[in-house]
């Protein structure tokens, strides 16, 4: 029994979870000078400290506790904040360019005007955080939690936000040109004056969102869920909309010219006054759809089913006006 205990103790020593301990000299230097470039502060407890405009460029702060810390205007360029706790921290105006914040906790943090260009933010938790006017150009936010966050007027162009959670997120005025949002959940988010040109929204969840009047040209929406979405007067010309769920959506007066609408889900969808010129509608079932005043000039209609739709003042592919469904 004694030998077994010795063996078990030896094994436990070999497989013990590594601990994170900041270099004491580096920690002292930071607290005394407010500067510690390239320092080892991994696992440091800096909770509630005042580190305004601190210089922590290229520092290792992995697993550090910075909860409720004031680090506004600080320099974290290229620093390692992997798995750090920054919940409630003030990072406004801070430089986090090319920093590693994978798995970091940033719930309710203040990141207004922060520079996060090319930062690594995979699986980071930004729930309820304020990122208004922040620079997230080319940032990697894959699988991050941005629910209830404020991203108004933020620059997210070319950012990777795939498979992320953006439920109830404020995206008003944000720049999302050429950003990747594929497979993300955007239900309940707001998009007032948001720039989505060239954005990849493949298989995103956009249930009941308000996108009326927006320019979505060249946006990738394949397989997106737009159930009950408000898309009045939206410009989707030339977009690939195949396999999109438009059930109960309002597309009245929208521009869907030359779009691909193959295999879309349509149920009681409103296409009143919609521009469908040159659209590919082959094999599309318009059951219970309202096509009153819609323009289908030159549309490809092979095997399209209009039998259960509302046809009134509808311009057919041959330019003839069909009033068969008018009351």
| Location of structure tokens 């440091």 | 44
Whether residue 5 has pLDDT greater than 90: no
Dihedral Cα 262, 263, 266, 272, nearest 10 deg: 0
What pLDDT digit, counting tens, does each position of 14-47 carry? 444 445 678 999 999 999 999 999 999 999 999 9
Give the residue-averaged pLDDT of 206-215: 96
Residue 320: is it exposed, middle or buried by C-beta count within 10 angstroms (0-12/13-18/19+)? exposed
Q: Which residue has the higher pLDDT, 197 or 140?
A: 140
Nearest to 204 by CA among 240, 263, 264, 164: 164
3-state secondary structure of 45: strand
> What are phi and psi for residue 230, nearest 5 degrees?
-100, 110
> Looking at residue 218, what is its pLDDT?
82
Cα separation values, 201 from 154, 218, 224, Å: 18, 11, 7
CA dihedral (84, 87, 88, 94) positive or negative = positive
- The vertex-133 CA angle with 125 and 129, nearest 5°, equals 25
What pLDDT digit, counting tens, does each position of 67-116 carry? 999 999 999 999 999 999 999 999 999 999 999 999 999 999 999 999 99
> Looking at residue 307, what is its pLDDT?
85
* DSSP code at position 31: H
Give the residue-averaged pLDDT of 149-177: 99
> Looking at residue 40, what is its pLDDT?
98
CA distance linking residue 67 with residue 45, whole number of Å: 9
> Looking at residue 22, what is its pLDDT?
87
| Location of structure tokens 């980071």 | 124
> Looking at residue 145, what is its pLDDT?
99
> Looking at residue 20, what is its pLDDT?
61
Cα separation values, 68 from 45, 118, 186, Å: 11, 25, 28
Whether residue 179 has pLDDT greater than 50: yes
Cα separation values, 25 from 30, 77, 96, 100, 180, Å: 9, 21, 24, 23, 43
Whether residue 236 has pLDDT greater than 70: yes
The share of the chain scoring above pLDDT 90, in percent, equals 89
Nearest to 47 by CA among 84, 80, 95, 77: 84
pTM: 0.90
> Looking at residue 8, what is its pLDDT?
45
> Looking at residue 19, what is its pLDDT?
52
> Looking at residue 13, what is its pLDDT?
46
Q: What is the mean pLDDT of the chain?
A: 94
Provide the β-strand partners of residue 200. Answer: 180, 220
CA dihedral (314, 316, 319, 322) positive or negative = negative
Report the run of H or E that residue 2 belongs to, with start and end.
helix 2-14
Give the residue-averaged pLDDT of 314-318: 97
């Amino acid at each position: 029994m004694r030998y077994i205990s010795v063996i078990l103790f030896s094994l436990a020593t070999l497989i013990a979870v590594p601990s994170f301990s900041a270099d004491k000299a580096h920690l002292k230097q930071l607290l005394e000078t407010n500067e510690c470039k390239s320092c080892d502060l991994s696992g440091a407890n800096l909770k509630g400290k005042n580190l305004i405009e601190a210089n922590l460029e290229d520092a290792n702060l992995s697993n550090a506790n910075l909860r409720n810390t004031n680090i506004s205007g600080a320099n974290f360029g290229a620093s390692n904040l992997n798995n750090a706790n920054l919940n409630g921290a003030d990072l406004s105006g801070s430089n986090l360019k090319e920093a590693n914040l994978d798995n970091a906790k940033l719930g309710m943090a203040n990141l207004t005007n922060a520079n996060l260009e090319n930062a690594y933010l995979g699986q980071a938790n930004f729930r309820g955080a304020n990122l208004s006017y922040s620079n997230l150009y080319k940032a990697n936010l894959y699988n991050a939690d941005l629910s209830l966050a404020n991203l108004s007027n933020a620059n997210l162009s070319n950012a990777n936000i795939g498979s992320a959670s953006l439920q109830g997120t404020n995206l008003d005025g944000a720049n999302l040109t050429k950003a990747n949002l594929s497979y993300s959940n955007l239900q309940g988010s707001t998009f007032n004056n948001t720039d989505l040109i060239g954005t990849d929204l493949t298989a995103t969840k956009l249930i009941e969102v308000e996108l009326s009047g927006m320019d979505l040209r060249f946006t990738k929406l394949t397989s997106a869920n737009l159930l009950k979405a408000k898309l009045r007067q939206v410009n989707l010309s030339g977009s690939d909309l195949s396999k999109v769920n438009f059930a109960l959506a309002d597309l009245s007066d929208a521009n869907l010219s030359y779009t691909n609408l193959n295999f879309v889900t349509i149920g009681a969808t409103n296409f009143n006054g919609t521009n469908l010129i040159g659209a590919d509608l082959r094999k599309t079932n318009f059951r219970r759809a309202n096509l009153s005043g819609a323009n289908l000039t030159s549309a490809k209609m092979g095997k399209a089913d209009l039998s259960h739709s509302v046809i009134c003042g509808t311009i057919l592919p041959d330019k003839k006006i069909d009033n068969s469904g008018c009351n």
